[in-house]
Structure 1
Amino acid sequence: MNKKKKFKKNTLKIIGGKLKRQKINIIHSKNLRPTKNFIRETLFNWLNKYIQNSICLDCFAGSGILGIESISRYAKLVTSLEINKKIFFKMYKNLKKLNIHEINIININALQWLKKKENTYDIIFLDPPYNCLQLLQKTIFLLEKNKYTKKNTIIYIEKKISKQKIEIPKTWILKKSKKQKKIEYKIYLKK
């Protein structure tokens, strides 16, 4: 009898850089959907010449894997925003376990945090929950309004493919784009 065992994967593997093959633990939550390995590999191939010594912002950190991959590939500093307390504390434990000090994690609603002027960033990751296009749109608006982007900032957007369009600022130039099953991901360069 051939029975398939159903189990939920509770770890993610870092796919590149100085922390390659290290694992982080994740919480299973309907609101947590970590970026898949093949997408992360493509993304960081796209970012390869920009990531070293960059200052990054991850607006919807979740598992924290995009920030951790960035530090693994020698980004200088990452600010990670996460609203869910359980997910935030799991990320905190993972950073402690991996001895990562270059990620500043903040337990806050991204929109609330973005309403104040904080800093400009070299790379910004926008990977909100998939069914929240309005949240993505508001985030893009606040990034521009409060000048979190500067000339040559790279903005990564990952979202579910949808007929509903999001409005991208005219100063953001599409550089790379890919679709996988129900997901689309793109990088823009601020001109």
Structure 2
Amino acid sequence: MSAGRRPAPGQVRIIGGNLRNSRLLVPELPGLRPTPARVRETVFNWLAPVIAGARCLDLCAGTGALGIEAYSRGAASVQFVERDAQAAQALRANLARLRLTSAVVTTADATTFLRGAAQAHDLVFLDPPFSLDLWAPLAGQLEAGGWLAAQALIYVESPRAGVPGLPPNWSVHREGQAGEVRFALYRRSLPSRQR
């Protein structure tokens, strides 16, 4: 198949790095909305200076395309969290097929997962199901729970119609739109009480 052709339905293509052109099989599940290739390309161009060696958290992972793209481009580790058991199993199968043996997939609700023992991450992908409106609560847990490195970057995908309420110490670094979706990269600074 030529590089310019679209993948078959039920597949997502990794677009860069050492896994470039690898296909991820995507189960047909309600609400599963893989980040489009052109959006991923833009976001990972933004992340190019910092992705190598980064510790990443793919929260509400779905297909895992964002986290796998990060691995492909040199991230040191990716923790995947997905609440749907079928999606999590498909993600594990894709990781095994790609021989990403160090990847960890946790089948859990993101809110519950973030109540656990925290490890600081350099980069977090925050792309919850749009219908659940979880941006503000999950962002609050990430910020308060010790999940973010001092100057972490947080990728947020949300409906174009409204910018989610996020912690005041997260500032927009880059942003874009694709159809009805807004995507943005936020940079965290330490809250004033921690400086």
Regarding TM over 0.5, the answer is yes
Alignment of 1:145-160 (within 5 A): 145-160=144-159
2:148 counterpart letter in structure 1: T
Stretches of structure 1 that go unaligned for 5 or more consecutive residues are: 1-7
Cα shift readout 1:132-189 (whole Å, capped 9, x = no counterpart): 22x12110110111121132100000011224x4222121111001111100000011
8 A contact 1:62–1:87 mirrored in 2: yes
The answer to whether structure 1 residue 174 and structure 2 residue 172 are counterparts is: yes
2:91 counterpart letter in structure 1: M
Q: Matched residue of 2:149: which SS? A: coil
8 A contact 1:76–1:102 mirrored in 2: no
2:181 counterpart letter in structure 1: I
TM-score normalised according to structure 1 size: 0.92
What is the aligned partner in structure 2 of residue 12 from structure 1?
Answer: 12
What is the aligned partner in structure 1 of residue 75 from structure 2?
Answer: 75
Q: Matched residue of 1:150: which SS? A: strand
8 A contact 1:67–1:103 mirrored in 2: no
TM-score normalised according to structure 2 size: 0.90
The answer to whether structure 1 residue 26 and structure 2 residue 22 are counterparts is: no
Determine the C-alpha separation between the residues in 1 that align with 2:113 and 2:145. 11
1:46 counterpart letter in structure 2: W
Determine the C-alpha separation between the residues in 2 that align with 1:178 and 1:102. 32
What is the aligned partner in structure 2 of residue 66 from structure 1?
Answer: 66
Using the TM superposition, name which of 145-154 and 65-74 deviates more. Answer: 145-154
Determine the C-alpha separation between the residues in 2 that align with 1:92 and 1:68. 11
What is the aligned partner in structure 2 of residue 186 from structure 1?
Answer: 184
Determine the C-alpha separation between the residues in 1 that align with 2:173 and 2:102. 27
Shift of 1:76: 0.4
**Identity level (%):** 29
Determine the C-alpha separation between the residues in 2 that align with 1:117 and 1:170. 24
Task: State the Cα RMSD in Å.
Answer: 1.2
Determine the C-alpha separation between the residues in 2 that align with 1:32 and 1:171. 30
Determine the C-alpha separation between the residues in 2 that align with 1:166 and 1:26. 27
Q: Matched residue of 2:131: which SS? A: coil
8 A contact 2:158–2:164 mirrored in 1: no
Q: Matched residue of 2:30: which SS? A: coil
What is the aligned partner in structure 1 of residue 192 from structure 2?
Answer: none
What is the aligned partner in structure 2 of residue 4 from structure 1?
Answer: none
Name the count of aligned residue pairs. Answer: 182
Shift of 1:131: 2.1
Stretches of structure 2 that go unaligned for 5 or more consecutive residues are: 1-7, 190-195
